[in-house]
Structure 1
Amino acid sequence: MNGSINLTADLGEGFGAYRMADDTAMLDLVSAANIACGFHAGDPRIMERTVRACVERGVSIGAHPGLPDLVGFGRRTLDCTPHEAYTDVLYQLGALSAFVRAHGGRIAHVTPHGQLGHLTRRREDIADAVARAARAFDEEIRVVSREGYLTEAAHRAGLRTGHVGFADRAYGDDGELVSRTLPGAVIDDPDEVVARVVRMARERRVVTTGGRELEIKCDTVLVHGDTPGSVRLARAVAEGLAAAGVAIRPLED
């Protein structure tokens, strides 16, 4: 049984006049935020506002770099070279850090978004490039991902890691997330999400779409900010964890 878990959400994912989630409400529920850095979402105003809100609430700040794909929200099937991955991630870390420094905070972790995250699971060279960019930025930063090439590359680079479980995404029998193009890939029923998260936190297990019991490494649970009813889901998760005796704390704690 586990006494604590880090609860995080992907935030700052609007652009211009467009808003993806109620970031203010989410920040009152989570212990960490993965903030979009401008490539798949986010702009200077949104980044500054989200960072300021995190610092005011004591929410741990993470960078959420993605591929340069505003139109597709960083989820389209795109490719990149290791050098492009390295420079794009380092660029985005630098952009976010300007606002974080201005508000007296620090970037505690980095976690790739969308298709960039998928690439780090399929290609060891891309995972290595992302880890190298993280280390070049800050040797104390933590790399947060599912167990795989990226966490292995981070260990080789001497970086700390965190392992994420997905509250609102279905897992296939192969341990991978079910494609968003398929029915049931995104889970928006609060009761089902809470039950999954409590089990992730206490037992490090999740049930796949095929009914298989899958053991996972998980010290962070993610609720996607763009999932329908994300604030309602996050509130239900926070209440469910409290009822199960699991405290919500940042990974640094």
Structure 2
Amino acid sequence: MGARIDFNCDLGEGCGNDAAILPHVTSASIACGGHAGDEATMRETLRLCHRHGVAAGAHPSYEDREHFGRRVLDVAPAEIARMVRAQIERIRAIAREEGVTLAHVKPHGALYNVAADDRAVADAVAATVADIDPTLALYALSGSELARAGLDHRLRVAHEVFAERGYDARGRLRPRGTPGAVIESLDESIVQVRRLALRGEVVADDGRIVAIHADTLCLHGDRPDAAEFARAVREALEADGIAVRPFGAAA
């Protein structure tokens, strides 16, 4: 079987690009009230996913709308579990009303990055997902503690890589605000995407080649050129003969 990958985007965050992005992706992680989103945006994004045949997932975060969920909050794992549960259950109820079955959960922002290295936080997220619905897939930074926790809690885990984020030598995302953390050039992003999808590797900030497993490729929907990136990335993947399918979908 040839190379294949899921292409996902974080949506429902009020950035205005969703309708233009969705025709090019196969999965969407939808903000569910923690860092962005409300009932209206969740409902509209779910409807768009249904219309375009895109797999829909929950995108829970720290409850921190002021900082878009990108600030680390000093909260205990039990409180993280409460926040994640409340957000997943909220969008899950709306999805049922819209005739959509949620396919996955992907933490957002600071919560995602903390769970990548902090096993207690990773377990809080994974255990909550498994308790709500063990058929949900867990999207986690490739090779992270969150990925390992998901497997330990018997979830299907999608090892996630990023189209337009820089990596360090550990295979972790470079912190936002540091040089090279965000890839602004579409051409540079396409080079990274092809390397990830075809060779399972990425060039780190120190020039090292880091092996990395890629089940799903993420594009951030809050960048102003996200629709252009989405179209170009999808075209590049397909031009290389890579099957772009939702995670877990039949070949």
TM-score by length of 2: 0.96
- Superposition deviation, residue 50 in structure 1: 0.2
Give the letter aligned to residue 248 of structure 2.
E
Distance 1:95 1:141 in 2: 15
Instruction: Kindly state the Cα deviation for residue 2 of structure 1 after the two structures are TM-superposed.
Output: 4.4
Instruction: Note if 1:37 corresponds to 2:32.
Output: yes
Q: Does 1:168 align with 2:168?
A: no
Structure 1 residue aligned with 2:11: 11
Find the counterpart in structure 2 of residue 66 from structure 1: 61
1:1-253 → structure 2 map (5 Å cutoff)? 2-14=2-14, 20-146=15-141, 147-253=143-249
- Hey, what does 1:17 align to over in structure 2? none
Q: Deviations over 1:30-81 (max 9, x none)?
A: 0000000101011111010001110111100111100000010000132211
- Is the contact made by 2:72 and 2:111 (CA closer than 8 Å) also made in structure 1? no
- Identity percentage over the alignment? 41
- Listed as ranges, the gaps of 5+ residues in structure 1 are 15-19
Q: Any conservation in 1 of the 2:170–2:210 contact (CA below 8 Å)?
A: no
RMSD of aligned C-alpha atoms?
Answer: 1.2
Matched position secondary structure for 2:104: strand
Q: List 4+ stretches of structure 1 deviating above 6 A.
A: none
Aligned residues: 248
Q: Is the 2:116–2:140 Cα contact (8 Å) retained in structure 1?
A: no
TM superposition score normalised by structure 1: 0.95
Residue 183 of structure 1 and its aligned partner are, at CA, apart by 2.1
CA contact (8 A) 1:21 1:230 kept: no
Structure 2 Cα separation of the partners of residues 175 and 107 of structure 1: 28
Aligned-pair distance for 1:115?
Answer: 0.7
Alpha-carbon distance between aligned partners in 2 of 1:175 and 1:7, rounded to the nearest angstrom: 19
List runs of 5+ in structure 2 lacking aligned partners. none
C-alpha distance in 2 between matches for 1:34 and 1:234: 15
Q: Write the deviation string for residues 88-122 of structure 1: whole angstroms up to 9, x where unpaired.
A: 11111101011211111111111110111122123
Amino acid aligned to 2:203: V
Rounded to whole Å, the distance in 1 between the matches of 2:224 and 2:180 is 13
Tell me the CA shift for residue 201 of structure 1: 0.9
Cα drift, residue 135 of structure 1: 0.8
Quote the Cα distance in structure 2 between the aligned partners of 1:180 and 1:35: 21
